[in-house]
Amino acid sequence: MVHEHRTWLTELDAAIGDGDHGINLDRGFAGVVADLDAAGTLPRDPAAVLETAGRRILGLVGGASGALYGRGLMVAGARLRDAQTDPARDTGGLVLVVIEGAVDAIAALGRASPGDKTMLDALVPAREALRTSLSRNPLPEALAAMAAAAVAGAEATTPLVARKGRASYLGERSAGHLDPGAASSALLVGCLADVLGGSAGRRRPEG
């Protein structure tokens, strides 16, 4: 999904950032795929997959996005490893642990909050939608709600003035542009929903 949308993500970043978001993420995830292929078989432990992906992205993807995605995936994997020992956790609960871990790590490292025009504007609504929906709906519906919230959250960054990251240097001129980090986050959340059997629907934010 990142490879398919690399040009679009780079164009978004060119408007308010360094113009390399899609290119860098594509390189990072290509490295993850190469590492998994070289291992011969996919690790059966999803925590190991997340931690491996995080380390690889941290090493391959430059700039803030590499550090944020890398750290987010690594903490998500670590949290999942701990949570898997709890027999009371079902699949939905484990997915929530992963999303919560990624959000906590990214917020701490980037010192950002929702409304700052960052990837958290997609990830925090996704977390909240999943948490709420799991309490009242089957897992596929909760996953779809999570993915839809990520897309809506990303789209809501368009009118915002950036308060964090490279885009913040533009001040008021950053308004009117979809945040590339929020856009890529929405894509990845949609992929997570798809893999786990949800119907993510539209995964590419508009704006």
Is the pLDDT score of 3 beyond 80? yes
Whether 174 is in a domain gets the answer yes
Average pLDDT, the chain: 92
Give pLDDT, residue 36.
Answer: 83
**Average pLDDT for 93-104:** 97
Q: What is the pLDDT of residues 151-190, one digit of tens each?
A: 999 999 999 999 988 888 888 998 999 999 999 999 999 9
Whether 80 is in a domain gets the answer yes
Confidence of residue 97 (pLDDT cuts 50, 70, 90): very high
pTM above 0.85, yes or no: yes
Which among 203, 103, 95 has a CA at the least distance from the CA of 151?
203
Whether 128 is in a domain gets the answer yes
Whether 204 is in a domain gets the answer no
Give pLDDT, residue 207.
Answer: 72
Which among 74, 73, 68, 27 has a CA at the least distance from the CA of 166?
68
Give pLDDT, residue 200.
Answer: 57
Which CATH number do you get for residue 141?
A: 1.25.40.340
Confidence of residue 42 (pLDDT cuts 50, 70, 90): low
Give pLDDT, residue 40.
Answer: 67
Distance CA 159, CA 176 (A): 5
Instruction: Give me the domain span that covers residue 75.
Output: 6-195
Helix (DSSP H) and strand (DSSP E) numbers for the chain: 8, 0
Whether 1 is in a domain gets the answer no
Whether 115 is in a domain gets the answer yes
Does residue 77 sit in helix, strand or coil?
A: helix
Is the pLDDT score of 136 beyond 60? yes
Rounded to 10 deg, the angle between the 180-195 and 6-16 helix axes is: 150
Whether 69 is in a domain gets the answer yes
Q: What is the pLDDT of residues 43-59, one digit of tens each?
A: 678 999 999 899 999 99
Into how many domains does the chain fold?
Answer: 1
